[in-house]
């Protein structure tokens, strides 16, 4: 039976989620890169005064990339838990999880270019 809602359980859930994010950040170099890029994108958003819609799109893209890296790390850890020996299925699971992050990272980069290049052109050209 599902437990009733409580602020204590909600607080614990957030605590564990932030703990998990901290572990990914501490142990995964790619997450550090994603966080630095996210900070730079947010700073550029303020600098270039992006619109509300552009903010929504940029924040959504950042969230997708960071979420993908968390999921990738989870899958890698689960695969390592199951087997330390080489296994083509384990390799496929890890590679496809990494591909998921790559696809979203490329998509986010394209979104960033679409948002920021016209603003740079306006500054340089005018």
Predicted local distance difference test score (pLDDT) of residue 126: 63
**Domain residue ranges of the chain, discontinuous segments joined by +:** 55-126
For domain 55-126, the CATH class is mainly alpha
Read off the pTM. 0.90
Q: 3-class SS at 49?
A: coil
Find the helix packing angle between 88-125 and 52-82, rounded to 10°: 160
Residuewise pLDDT in 10s, the chain (126 residues): 788 889 999 999 999 999 999 999 999 999 999 999 999 999 999 999 999 999 999 999 999 999 999 999 999 999 999 999 999 999 999 999 999 999 999 999 999 999 999 999 999 986
């Amino acid at each position: 039976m599902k437990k009733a809602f409580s602020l204590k359980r909600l607080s614990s859930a957030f605590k564990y989620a932030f703990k998990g994010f901290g572990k990914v950040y501490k142990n995964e170099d790619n997450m550090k890169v994603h966080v630095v890029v996210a900070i730079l994108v947010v700073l550029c958003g303020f600098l270039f005064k992006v619109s509300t819609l552009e903010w929504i799109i940029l924040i959504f893209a950042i969230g997708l990339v960071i979420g993908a890296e968390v999921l990738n790390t989870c899958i890698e850890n689960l695969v390592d838990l199951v087997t330390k020996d080489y296994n083509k299925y384990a390799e496929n699971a890890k590679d496809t999880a990494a591909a998921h992050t790559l696809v979203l990272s490329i998509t986010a980069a394209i979104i960033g270019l679409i948002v920021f290049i016209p603003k740079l052109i306006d500054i340089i050209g005018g």
